[in-house]
Structure 1
């Protein structure tokens, strides 16, 4: 009974910290969706330009975001151990990394025409995409610096500011993008460029709001968090990169694998590509739940480990897994029961809907496996296991998801001498293999986590016995 009460209490703590993160992530997601909707009414060229431009932007930003996010488990552990002076050092490391990565990103965006020439798209689309990316040069510094705030705030148990700032930014970005894209109220019609300008204003609004909140909020001053007054030490900088670089590799691998899959699936025709994109969009929305729970669980586990409460850290880790799996099962049931309704929201084309419906049952299993690996890898990073989860995740995405998916889609499993499917499976093969890869990665990560928790608690008992 006591164990059940603790589990419920831990789940409540995770939800309280994770729910605002989920809302904040959804606000960002809908900002991207709104750009596609706006551009969709301006013609195929504008929509294609935003699709190509945003893919390059997301690849750069999400990869760099992973590096900056490396300060999160470190700060959470420092907060739990009440080492507030070290928190300032970690924030300084995050800010320095964000600035350095901004320079690299700006250089990449300036020379994005080289990347665009590799894409087989009409010249007018490439020129529009180049203009779209040129505008994002002005967004990158703010976008990177604000991620430092978004990394350390949940780490110290405060997540509501992230939610409120993102909601405000959303309601600034969307009307501004619509106004500039369509040329309302006397503004010139800028199309995709207008959407990019809206994003620039959004990121700078988020940064200014974050700085103001940190400066004036008593919640930060109480725990001694101030703006860094000196450069970070080399040890803190190295520790941040040791956590952040594997996270960045995971982010880049995920984006890269989905891009490759989209290119492979494109050969099956426009309807199949559309069906694939719809399923990918739906699963990405559901993925926001385990992502938020993973961030919250990671923060709470790190805090308790920093405080030396290893048994509590174990309880929170298990509660995070149970909660994530439970909600993922509910999401899977939704996909299986009312999935067709969701598909009709995305498209009125019956052929596209029917093709997407073939993947719905597979997407339910895909989401379950993806949710488990997401929260498990986040918890492992709280236990300072950074490299191994990344290796398993990359292998699952590329080795099994892309590699085996290509075999299943083009040759079936007759090539593997299993004789379960005599014909090539088409784009369904990629989803089956991706699900299998995530399942294998989840199992391996769960075994790693169980061993790490067991070792952690055992070490705690040994140190306690020795001190007595």
Structure 2
């Protein structure tokens, strides 16, 4: 009973903070489902093209999200010490840093665009891949601006604002998808390109709404003093980069194990790519849910770190892990029951549906490792111990995961299932190393 009492307040606080983030992520999940459903039923070739492009851009978006997470421990610590104007100043510096990173990513992805034919993808998909790629490329800067506002509001424990904007933006995106993919309300039938245009428009609108709320809303007045009057702070900008790049690279390397796997999957053909995209949509469902709770852990940990309260840093972290494990049990039970029907939701191809069903075994295996690494990566981010995470990610995803995927998929000849067998090895090894690092950094002296 004493054990339960010691964690009770942390469970309640994490649920209060994390639930809006999880609900916002549910909106992202529903959007991913709707995208894949509409595109898959429009044509299997478009689903294969979407799989390749989305995986390439997911790498960018996850890296950019990780970079923006550098703001959370800064704002969380300032908020914990009631230094509100300085938190507003940090937001201003973060938006500048995020735009600069977005421009860098846009340049890199433009270079990739001009070399996309060399990546070994099916030739028949190129007319679909290229225009969709360009539209998503135009949206990167808006993703980064949204991330800056979101990490700021999360850091001051206002997780509901981002939730409502995400839900509204994703609803707008789904409606736009239906109209533009299928050619409704007098619009031309654009298929996959229509999905890209809808995504770009919704991302622009989410940034506009977020900016209006933060820069005009009454409850943000005490932060706007620092945003508008305290001027530029090079030390804050430097700290944002010192925290943001390691987190972005850590998350980017994790995502690269999936995105680079998509290139290997492309060597197996269009059906394999389509099946891979469907399964990634399912995996996004669990990942986003866990990450919503993990983000709450980072906020709570950064608040306690700002107060130099290491005991509650540890308690918040392990309370978050307990909650993520409980979420895994519930979500895996749902997914396991529905495993035989999932493929048919997204495509009319019987071959693709059968291939999807075969991927549930490696998918279920890696859930524990995914929850473990999400929780402790966020805890380390909350205490600003981010540089070792890059080394851990490199070992887990490049030294372990990708070679295992190639070996199982092509050397052993297991095909798509073999490529997916890499993920349990990479995610679990990352989770164990991050857990050990957290224990070392927060041990009682």
TM-score by length of 2: 0.89
1:448 paired with 2:437, answer: yes
Unaligned runs of 5+ in 1: 413-423, 459-468
Query: Residues of 1 paired with 2:287 and 2:427: CA distance?
Result: 13
Query: Residues of 1 paired with 2:138 and 2:264: CA distance?
Result: 33
> How far does the alpha carbon of each residue in 1:136-189 deviate from its partner, in whole angstroms, 9 at most, with x for none?
454333222111111111111011111111111122222223323333333333
Query: Residues of 1 paired with 2:11 and 2:331: CA distance?
Result: 18
**Contact in 2 for aligned 1:272/1:352 (Cα 8 Å):** yes
SS of 1:53's equivalent in the other structure is helix
Give the aligned partner of residue 377 of structure 2: 377
Query: Residues of 1 paired with 2:375 and 2:222: CA distance?
Result: 30
**Contact in 1 for aligned 2:45/2:270 (Cα 8 Å):** no
Unaligned runs of 5+ in 2: none
**Contact in 2 for aligned 1:278/1:343 (Cα 8 Å):** yes
Change in 2 beyond 3 A, CA 1:282/1:195:
closer
Give the aligned partner of residue 7 of structure 1: 7
> How far does the alpha carbon of each residue in 1:190-246 deviate from its partner, in whole angstroms, 9 at most, with x for none?
333322221222112111211221134333235666534455322211211111111
Query: Residues of 1 paired with 2:45 and 2:354: CA distance?
Result: 27
Would you say how many aligned residue pairs link Structure 1 and Structure 2? 445
Query: Residues of 2 paired with 1:364 and 1:40: CA distance?
Result: 24
- Offset at 1:97? 1.0
Give the aligned partner of residue 119 of structure 2: 119
- Offset at 1:268? 5.2
**Contact in 2 for aligned 1:112/1:133 (Cα 8 Å):** no
Give the aligned partner of residue 263 of structure 1: 263
- Offset at 1:295? 0.5
**Contact in 2 for aligned 1:304/1:313 (Cα 8 Å):** yes
Query: Residues of 1 paired with 2:269 and 2:136: CA distance?
Result: 32
Query: Residues of 2 paired with 1:40 and 1:337: CA distance?
Result: 22
- Offset at 1:286? 0.9
Give the aligned partner of residue 166 of structure 1: 166
Select the structure of larger CA radius of gyration.
1
Give the aligned partner of residue 436 of structure 1: 425
Give the aligned partner of residue 203 of structure 1: 203
**Contact in 1 for aligned 2:85/2:222 (Cα 8 Å):** no
Query: Residues of 2 paired with 1:348 and 1:193: CA distance?
Result: 21
Give the aligned partner of residue 462 of structure 1: none
Give the aligned partner of residue 101 of structure 1: 101
- Offset at 1:425? 4.9
- Offset at 1:107? 3.4
Over aligned residue pairs, what C-alpha RMSD do you find?
Answer: 2.9
Query: Residues of 2 paired with 1:179 and 1:346: CA distance?
Result: 18
Matches within 5 A, 1:263-302: 263-267=263-267, 274-302=274-302
Matches within 5 A, 1:83-98: 83-98=83-98
Give the aligned partner of residue 420 of structure 1: none
Give the aligned partner of residue 392 of structure 1: 392
Give the aligned partner of residue 215 of structure 1: 215
Give the aligned partner of residue 340 of structure 2: 340
- Offset at 1:452? 1.6
Change in 2 beyond 3 A, CA 1:349/1:199:
closer
Query: Residues of 1 paired with 2:376 and 2:179: CA distance?
Result: 43
Change in 2 beyond 3 A, CA 1:100/1:224:
closer
**Contact in 2 for aligned 1:87/1:225 (Cα 8 Å):** no
Choose between structure 1 and 2 for higher RCO, CA contacts under 8 A separated by at least 6 residues. Answer: 2
Give the aligned partner of residue 244 of structure 2: 244
Give the aligned partner of residue 66 of structure 1: 66
Give the aligned partner of residue 135 of structure 2: 135
Query: Residues of 2 paired with 1:344 and 1:440: CA distance?
Result: 33
Query: Residues of 2 paired with 1:387 and 1:118: CA distance?
Result: 33
> How far does the alpha carbon of each residue in 1:271-290 deviate from its partner, in whole angstroms, 9 at most, with x for none?
55555444333222111121
Query: Residues of 2 paired with 1:399 and 1:342: CA distance?
Result: 32
Matches within 5 A, 1:9-28: 9-28=9-28
